[in-house]
C-alpha cells in the first residue's frame, strides 16, 4: 500500500476515504508544518496531499525524499508549489479545478458587494447603539447596470461573469488569450489591461498567481482605472502591490476593495486594517463543506489514478 503524507487535517469523511486506499500520515492537530517538518515527516512516504498553506519551493523539493513521486495539492491554485523543480525531480503535481468554481465565484461577488455597499462600516454602525437611518447614511456604490472588468477569464472568471449578468452588468475581460464565442457569451475582450482597466467601474481579480501576474495591480496600473472604482480580489494576494492599493484607497482613487487573499497569508498588511473602505475575509473562497469535500476527494482521486500508473486528470506539470 502506498503511503501519503497529508499536511493539514481534512474533513473526517475525506480522511476515511483516503485510509481505504492508502496508508496515511495525518495531521490531527492541524498545525501548519514548516518545510523541514514536511521534509522530515514525509521521508517514508510515496506522495503528499498538500494545501494552499504549504509553500513547497525549490529548496524544499530538493530535500524531499526520492520516494515522493506526487504532490496532490488540494486547491485549484498551485502557486505555492515550484512545479518546474518538481518536474525536474520527477514529481508530478496536481490541483483540484472545477469543484470550487461556484463557491469562489460566489465569494468574488460577495467581495464586490461587501466593499461597494460598505458592509464593514455597516456592521460597525449596526453594533453602535443609537444608529439611525438617514438620507445620506453609509451611501455605497450600486453594482447593477455597471461595467465590470474581469481580470482572468478562466473557470472562476467566467462564473463571476455569469453572476454579474444577473446584476445586468456589462462584462469586459482580459485574459492571456481571447475566448471563443461560446465561452465569451457576449463578454468584451480587451487585449491589454490598460484597456480593460480604463472601463472597469468594478474590477474582479480572478487570475492565477504566476511570475507574470505578480503585483500586476500596482501604482501604474491602478491609475488606468476610473476614479471611484471598486475592486475585489478572490485570487491571490501576490497579484496586488499592497502599498499602492492602500494609497489608492486612502485617496479614494479606489472607492473600496474587497479581499479574501493576502500577501504572506495569514498576515495582513496593517495598512488595510486602518481603512474603512475595505471588506476583508480570511480566505473563504472555497469554504463550504460540499466544496471542501469535493476538493479533498479530487486530490485523493488524483493520487489513486497516479499510483495505478495512469495520468491523473489534473496534472499541472
Q: How far is the CB of 259 from ligand DGY (least distance, A)?
A: 12
Q: Which residue has the cell 469554504?
A: 287
Active site residue 265: yes
Active site residue 236: yes
In whole angstroms, how large is the CA radius of gyration of the chain?
21
Q: Which residues of 17-37 are buried (b: 16+ CB within 10 A; e: fewer)?
A: bbeeebebbbbeeeeebebee
Binding positions for ligand DGY, rule: CB under 6 A: 52, 75-77, 100, 283, 285-286
Which member of 15, 121, 170, 265 is catalytic? 265
Q: Which residue has the cell 474590477?
A: 203
The grid cell for 116 is 461597494
Give SS3 for 178: coil
Active site residue 129: no
Where is 188: in which H helix or E strand? strand 188-189
Q: Cβ closer to ligand DGY: 140 or 258? A: 258
Which member of 283, 292, 298, 304 is catalytic? 283
Q: Which residue has the cell 480566505?
A: 283
Contact 259, 111 (CB under 8 A): yes
Q: Which of 159, 154, 155, 160 is nearest to 174 (CA)?
A: 154
Give SS3 for 92: strand
d(CA 194, CA 225) in angstroms, rounded, equals 8
Which member of 190, 236, 292, 298 is catalytic? 236
* Residues designated catalytic: 236, 265, 283
Amino acid at each position: 500500500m502506498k503511503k501519503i503524507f497529508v499536511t493539514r487535517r481534512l474533513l473526517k469523511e475525506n480522511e476515511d476515504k483516503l485510509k481505504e486506499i492508502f496508508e496515511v500520515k495525518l495531521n490531527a492537530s492541524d498545525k501548519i508544518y514548516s518545510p523541514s517538518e514536511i521534509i522530515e515527516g514525509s521521508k517514508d512516504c510515496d506522495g503528499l496531499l498538500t494545501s494552499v498553506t504549504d509553500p513547497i519551493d525549490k529548496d524544499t523539493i530538493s530535500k524531499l525524499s526520492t520516494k515522493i513521486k506526487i504532490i496532490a495539492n488540494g486547491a485549484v491554485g498551485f502557486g505555492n508549489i515550484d512545479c518546474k523543480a518538481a518536474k525536474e525531480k520527477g514529481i508530478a503535481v496536481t490541483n483540484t479545478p472545477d469543484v470550487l468554481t461556484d463557491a469562489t465565484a460566489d465569494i468574488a461577488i460577495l467581495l464586490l458587494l461587501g466593499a461597494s455597499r460598505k458592509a464593514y462600516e455597516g456592521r460597525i454602525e449596526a453594533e453602535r447603539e443609537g444608529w439611525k437611518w438617514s438620507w445620506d447614511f453609509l451611501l455605497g456604490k450600486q453594482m447593477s447596470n455597471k461595467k465590470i472588468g474581469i481580470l482572468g477569464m478562466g473557470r472562476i472568471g467566467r462564473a463571476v461573469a455569469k453572476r454579474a449578468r444577473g446584476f445586468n452588468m456589462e462584462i469586459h475581460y482580459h485574459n492571456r488569450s481571447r475566448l471563443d464565442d461560446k465561452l465569451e457569451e457576449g463578454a468584451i475582450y480587451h487585449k491589454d489591461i490598460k484597456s480593460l482597466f480604463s472601463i472597469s467601474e468594478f474590477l474582479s481579480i480572478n487570475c492565477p498567481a504566476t511570475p507574470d501576474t505578480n503585483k500586476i495591480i500596482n501604482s501604474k496600473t491602478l491609475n488606468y482605472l476610473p476614479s471611484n472604482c471598486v475592486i475585489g480580489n478572490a485570487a491571490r494576494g501576490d497579484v496586488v502591490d499592497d502599498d499602492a492599493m492602500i494609497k489608492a484607497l486612502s485617496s479614494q482613487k479606489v472607492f473600496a476593495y474587497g479581499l479574501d487573499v493576502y500577501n504572506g497569508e495569514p498576515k495582513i498588511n496593517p495598512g488595510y486594517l486602518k481603512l474603512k473602505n475595505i471588506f476583508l475575509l480570511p480566505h473563504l473562497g472555497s469554504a463550504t463543506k460540499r466544496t471542501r469535500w469535493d476538493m479533498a476527494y479530487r486530490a485523493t482521486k488524483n493520487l489513486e489514478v497516479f499510483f495505478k500508473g495512469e495520468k491523473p486528470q489534473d496534472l499541472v506539470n
